[in-house]
Amino acid sequence: MYTRENADKFVESRKYLLNGEYRLRYHLMSEFGWMNDPNGFVYYNGEYHMFYQHYPYQPVWGPMHWGHAVSRDLIEWKHLPVALAPDQEYDRDGCFSGSAIEKDGMLYLMYTGHIVTGPDKDLHYIQNQNIAVSDDGVHFQKLACNPVIRPEQIPADVSQKDFRDPKVFERDGVYYAVLGSNDGMGSGLLLMYRSDDLLNWTFVNEIARSDGYMGDNWECPDLFELEGHDVLMLSPQRMPAQGDDFQNLHSTAYMIGRLDTVQGRFLYDQYEQIDCGFDFYAPQTTIDDKGRRIVIGWMETWETEIPTQLGHYWAGAMSLPREVVMQGDKLFFKPIEEMANYRHIGYEASNILLDGERDLGVSGDCYELEVVFRADQAEEFGLKLRVSGDEETVLSYSAADGRFLFNRDKAGIGLGGERRTKVELKEGLLELRIFVDKSSVEVFIQGGAKVMTGRIYPGAQSLGIKAYAKGSCSIVSFKKWDMQ
């Protein structure tokens, strides 16, 4: 039997084994073992709480627990005791993803209980929804009435086993939960349930379904209001690529529309990719005391080997927190303002002419860059980061087809590959804000119009920063800060 206490004791006794070579400096990671989806992201009692899918015993996916950390600024995190362990009959094979909500000063976690029912754990299982409650935000008690949403409350024409990741929210005094599922015939979909008390739930409707091009199962929905609109985020599995977009095996997308709570329908016209890079999944949002809508995703990719799984004793990390802002009919994702508080030892240069490759005279493995390029006559230009010998991570812009590229083919050990996304220059300018942290790169393009995230695993000696151009262009401004 797994217990919270045993998980905490095990982690405390094994932390000395950690290899720090690729440990991130200003991102949330587990203290030991495996981390995936952000769960229960909430601002409660003056702190940000992040729970996460966690297998504390090995750096591999296993019977899921809920790890727990808190922060006052979303950057510096303090680990708390494990919040949930699979210790009940209804969640014996995993406390899967879910969300959090405050009610009457108490913090409620709503999560999926996973039960394996046959010899093949990937085929034979059922799932249900449960509640755990805390009056201090640290110690959680599972309710005696669990499960609060049972498999028999799944509609007959929907998968009877994929039924998970409840996102709970309140609207007009009523609580709603949206859950990920599929129709068993290749189309992902979302279900919505309604409650007056968080304990007794009734099915409302299927609120949205794949158009045939959005994957065979939908996971980790998040539904919220932003500037008078409803926004739906989700993680479609096995979504076919659409040109440059949705190139990963499992993707993330958002829709801006309207939720009809009476009919139980989410009405929208189009969908967009949330992050155009390699490693961003299962994003979850919260609203804070400043009224900001903040999103964080799992900065990793399913069904791939992660270099830190071998000999490092940890795997997985969270992305930087990003403020979600509506501009026109699109969402922009911007680094939160608190990031500036961690800048240390700044460097600035301006009006750097480029035609060929140029060492910028600065280096590092944990820093922030703000760079503005003027395209001029260059057919291609960009930056090479974490450079040493043949090792480099390349961020570039191709003027011929208006695409921004993130290439990690020579980034070190781990997966290579390239991701591309359409980017429009603004009066001939390309504005980049880049965060490098030991084994991660996050690029915010044109003020957050596009974001690209990727894990890289270069050698410790790969610290160089270069700029290059094919044809002539210029760097209007270049700013670098170490992050401390």
DSSP string, 419-466: EEEE---BTTEEEEEEEEESSEEEEEEGGGTEEEEEE-B--TT--EEE
Q: What 8-state DSSP symbol labels residue 265?
A: E
Q: How large is the average pLDDT for residues 439-468?
A: 98
Strand order in the sheet with 188-195: 164-171, 174-182, 188-195, 201-209
Residue linked to tokens 């905490």: 8
Q: Is 1's pLDDT higher than 90?
A: no
Q: Is 115's pLDDT higher than 90?
A: yes
Q: Is 113's pLDDT higher than 90?
A: yes
Tell me the HSE value of 465 on the side-chain side, using a 13 A CA sphere: 20
Class of domain 4-335 as given by CATH: mainly beta
Number of helices and strands (H, E) in the chain? 1, 32
Q: How large is the average pLDDT for residues 63-73?
A: 98
Domain with CATH 2.115.10.20 in the chain: 4-335
The set of residues, in sequence order, having a beta carbon less than 8 Å from that of 406 and lying 6+ positions away, is 277, 278, 393, 394, 395, 418, 419, 420, 441, 443, 452, 454
- Whole-number pLDDT of residue 73: 98
- Phi, psi at residue 207, to the nearest 5°? -90, -25
- Whole-number pLDDT of residue 102: 98
- Whole-number pLDDT of residue 71: 98
Q: Is 282's pLDDT higher than 90?
A: yes
- Whole-number pLDDT of residue 37: 98
pLDDT, one tens digit per residue, over 205-262 is 999 999 999 999 999 999 999 999 999 999 999 999 999 999 999 999 999 999 999 9
- Whole-number pLDDT of residue 355: 97
Q: Is 420's pLDDT higher than 90?
A: yes
Q: Name the H helices within 50-165.
A: none
- Whole-number pLDDT of residue 26: 98
The set of residues, in sequence order, having a beta carbon less than 8 Å from that of 414 and lying 6+ positions away, is 306, 307, 408, 455, 456, 457
What mean pLDDT value characterizes the chain?
A: 98
Q: Is 61's pLDDT higher than 90?
A: yes
Q: By percentage, how much of the chain surpasses pLDDT 90? A: 99
pLDDT, one tens digit per residue, over 370-406 is 999 999 999 999 999 999 999 999 999 999 999 999 9
- Exactly one of 37, 216, 222, 275 is catalytic; which is it? 37
- The continuous run of DSSP H or E covering 146 comes out as none
Q: How large is the average pLDDT for residues 466-482?
A: 98
Q: How large is the average pLDDT for residues 151-174?
A: 98
Q: How large is the average pLDDT for residues 186-196?
A: 98
User: Under CATH, what is the fold of the domain 343-483?
Assistant: Jelly Rolls (2.60.120)
Contact present, 77 and 71 (Cβ < 8 Å): yes
Domain with CATH 2.60.120.560 in the chain: 343-483
The DSSP line for 183-238 is: -SSS-EEEEEEEESSSSSEEEEEEEEE--SSS-SEEEEEEEEEETTEEEEEEEEES
Query: Encoding tokens for residue 298?
Result: 């799992």
Global pTM reads 0.98
Q: How far apart are CA 416 and CA 405, in angstroms?
A: 13
pLDDT, one tens digit per residue, over 124-147 is 999 999 999 999 999 999 999 999
pLDDT, one tens digit per residue, over 298-317 is 999 999 989 999 999 999 99
Q: Is 87 a catalytic residue?
A: no
Confidence band of 363 (pLDDT split at 50, 70, 90):
very high
- Whole-number pLDDT of residue 369: 99
Q: How large is the average pLDDT for residues 33-45?
A: 98
Confidence band of 422 (pLDDT split at 50, 70, 90):
very high
